[in-house]
């Protein structure tokens, strides 16, 4: 099996291990699936710290310090909330990388602006203290399929985004 044929969770693990990086995940719409995929890899405790499933507004506020203003103003499925989730889990865990997912897996809950399958994925990197190199990127995606299919696509995309960031050194 070539490297590109290896499951994304294995490639993420290899990249983190090579760079002595760690990751923590804040999941909403994926409900723990990213953490599950990462821990399917033997030895993932070398780089995986935690996955927080913060499904409700209260959980995002209490566990990740997502601001009430972002939740009230933009809603949970938004760029600002995904950004704050990724930063919050990174900082709470003290990890090199934080990843977040917030979206609408369906089959209901979509709107014209945010149809079912819409997700915001955040990737945050902790730079060395005093360097000013910490950064966060958020991307919006739309996926099709059943609820289970959408959740799987989101989880794999989040790991793909993380891998690209780890390999590139910045989100």
pLDDT tens for 128-165 read: 999 999 999 999 999 999 999 999 999 999 999 999 99
CA angle 133, 135, 141 (to 5 degrees): 155
Number of independent structural domains in the chain: 1
pLDDT in tens, 89-133: 999 999 999 999 999 999 999 999 999 999 999 999 999 999 999
Strand order in the sheet with 135-142: 48-53, 23-27, 97-103, 118-125, 135-142
Residues 32-81: tens digit of each pLDDT: 999 999 999 999 999 999 999 999 999 999 999 999 999 999 999 999 99
Domain with 36 in it: 3-168
CATH number at residue 62: 3.90.950.20
DSSP the chain: --GGGS-HHHHHHHHHHHTT--EEEEESTTTTHHHHHHHTSTTGGGTEEEEEE--SHHHHHHHH---HHHHHHH-SSSHHHHHHHHHHHHHHHT-SEEEEEEE--SSS---SSS-TTEEEEEEEE-PPTTS---EEEEEEEE--S-HHHHHHHHHHHHHHHHHHHHHHT--
């Amino acid at each position: 099996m070539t490297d590109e044929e290896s499951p994304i969770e294995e490639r993420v693990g290899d990249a983190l291990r090579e760079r002595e990086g760690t990751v923590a995940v804040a999941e909403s719409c994926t409900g723990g699936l990213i953490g599950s995929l990462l821990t399917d890899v033997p030895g993932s405790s070398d780089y995986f710290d935690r996955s927080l499933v913060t499904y409700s507004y209260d959980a995002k506020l209490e566990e990740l310090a997502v601001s009430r203003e972002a939740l009230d103003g933009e809603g949970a499925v938004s760029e600002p909330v995904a950004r704050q989730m990724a930063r919050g889990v990174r900082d709470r865990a003290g990890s090199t990388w934080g990843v977040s997912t917030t979206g609408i897996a369906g089959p209901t809950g979509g709107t014209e602006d945010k149809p079912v399958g819409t997700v915001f994925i955040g990737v945050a990197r902790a730079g060395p203290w005093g360097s000013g190199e910490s950064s966060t990127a958020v991307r919006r995606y739309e996926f099709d399929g059943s609820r289970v299919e959408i959740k799987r696509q989101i989880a794999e995309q989040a790991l793909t985004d993380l891998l690209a960031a780890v390999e590139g050194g910045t989100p």
